Amino acid sequence: MVRKFYFLDYIFILLQSCKIYEERDLVFLYFKILKDKERLGESKYRKLTTDQSELSEKQVKRYIYTFEQVIFEAVNYNLIKDNKKNLILTDLGNECLLFGEKDKRLFYEKLLVLMENHFFAFFDLINLCYSQNKTKNGLLIFPIYSPRKLGFEKDDMKKNRDWYLFSKKLQKKLESDISNFLEQDINLNEANESLLNTLYDDKLIDKDLNGFYNKSNYNSIISRFRKYWLNYFLNKIYNYKHSFETFNIWVERGKQLGIIHSTEFYPNFDGRLVYPTSLIINNTNNRDLVNVFTYKNNLKLYIHKLEWTQNNQDNFVDALVDCYFALKRDRGTHFIRISDLRERVCYKKRIPSFVFNEFLEKIYLRNLKGETKVQISLEADRLPYETNAMYLKREPVSVNGQFKNIIAIDYRK
């Protein structure tokens, strides 16, 4: 029953709209304005461009579709009442909105309770992660390799044989990743043959290995490989019982809440990593674990937040330095992207992205006062907003209200 939108901010802007208007059409118009202002798109990335003032019929339908999806969930959580003509903010909806107007993370925490009471999706997801990879604290991998990444240039791929050879090399690479990251030995021969047979049946390639394939099918074939193996990992290796779309929605929502981390940009890994930044246990005295939900069986969901203690500050700086110099050795440059460093540190310490952002800002301000053992330089470089990109795929860090996206670290003399 989960609806097809990623950003939890959608529910927040719906509540804001319902606070000002009740008539459905007026709520929609204000919802659209806030959607553009917050740069919320249908993908899991924020938009860097705004839609034209004059929308096409297709664009309007897309806005309405998203609007209706958000309404459906908000009604389920008793945040609003929908009597078709009017959308009315409930007392609970107003309470959640007031929390969000003070601090967006408080709104997220309220929403987490409502969602988990309704779906128990995070319970399933977190348990799935830990049960599938106990040795690496719940890490799930979804490798993605293009032909070029495996040594097959597009212009050189002319015959059916080339796709057959690519599929075999991809199979071996996936088997290697499964062994390295999941510590399992799985033979993918049967799965690979099944994929090839599907491509044959759909006439995208032919069984005549010396024959030429239709080059106009190149992107379609790559897409088939990608979707097939992503679903194979999710359904066959990890035994997830729902669709990949449902998995994506809950993972991306969990990332906003600090429950799950997901990235397609982990340094030196081709594909996507997913791992929990939370635990489901009975009780703990660890003050870095914050209880955000209690289940009926008395198990509790804890997010790994980190208190601002001297010990945590020192440990964070140590992780920052270790990961920075590892990246510096790989890249051979003094300044590296904060987003790459954030991925390394979050994985090493199993913390949510927002915790990294908060700690980096505080540590940087201490650094300016000379209170840290290292010197940290943060610069803006070229921000995503200054490019021609359509979506903000990697968010910079805000320090004192200014966005920074490259970093250099050195020891104090």
Candidate from 12-21, 52-61, 197-206 with smallest mean pLDDT:
52-61
Judge whether residue 52 has pLDDT over 90. no
Candidate from 187-201, 331-345, 373-387, 392-406 with smallest mean pLDDT:
373-387
Work out the percent of the chain whose per-residue pLDDT is above 90.
Answer: 85
Beta carbons of 81 and 87 less than 8 angstroms apart: yes
Question: pLDDT-derived band of residue 386, with 50, 70 and 90 as boundaries?
Answer: low
pLDDT at 395: 85
pLDDT at 2: 83
Mean pLDDT, the chain, whole residue set: 94
Judge whether residue 336 has pLDDT over 70. yes
* Range 150-158 average pLDDT: 95
Bigger pLDDT: 359 or 54? 359
Question: pLDDT-derived band of residue 388, with 50, 70 and 90 as boundaries?
Answer: low
Question: pLDDT-derived band of residue 62, with 50, 70 and 90 as boundaries?
Answer: confident
Q: Give the tens place of pLDDT for each residue, 76-133.
A: 999 999 998 999 999 999 999 999 999 999 999 999 999 999 999 999 999 999 999 9
Tokens matching residue 74: 């908000």
pLDDT at 383: 58
Q: Give the tens place of pLDDT for each residue, 221-251.
A: 999 999 999 999 999 999 999 999 999 999 9
pLDDT at 346: 98
Question: pLDDT-derived band of residue 273, with 50, 70 and 90 as boundaries?
Answer: very high
Judge whether residue 359 has pLDDT over 60. yes
pLDDT at 282: 95
* Identity of residue 130: Y
Bigger pLDDT: 393 or 116? 116
Beta carbons of 264 and 272 less than 8 angstroms apart: yes
Question: pLDDT-derived band of residue 185, with 50, 70 and 90 as boundaries?
Answer: very high
pLDDT at 387: 63
